[in-house]
Amino acid sequence: MRTRMRAALFGGLASAAVAGALLIAPAAHADWNGYCDIQHYQGSGTGYATGWCDGTGPQKYQVGVKCTNGVWYWSAGAKAFGDRTGLSAYCPSGKGATAHTMRRA
């Protein structure tokens, strides 16, 4: 099941509680140079977050998901702004997603 909610980021980091899309404004913070989109999902009992960013490198970003065990999990790698192939972060088996965010790597 996928749900969406939109929010604008004014600072370096934000999370959307419950579910949806986090939009990161390109001029909102000097460290962010592109538009970003992120969502989190509930798949068969296990939650995850996925997202991508426009812009230009060399700055990189990571995706994070907060799980029902209260722990944040981050994508294994980082991608440069402009690489819209995206990243994903996963909760442990059987744990749902409660929030998501992105950070500069």
Q: How far apart are CA 102 and CA 24, in angstroms?
A: 9
7-34 tens-digit pLDDT? 333 233 333 333 444 444 433 444 566 7
67 lies in some domain? yes
* Region for 98 from its dihedrals, namely left if φ exceeds 0, alpha if ψ lies in -120 to 50, beta otherwise: alpha
Q: What is the pLDDT of residues 44-68, one digit of tens each?
A: 678 999 999 888 888 899 999 999 9
Q: Is residue 3 part of a domain?
A: no
Q: Which residue has the higher pLDDT, 25 or 43?
A: 43
The whole domain housing 73 covers 8-104
Any domain includes 64: yes
Whether the bond between 26 and the residue before it is cis, its omega within 30 degrees of 0, is no
* Cα–chain center distance at 22: 7
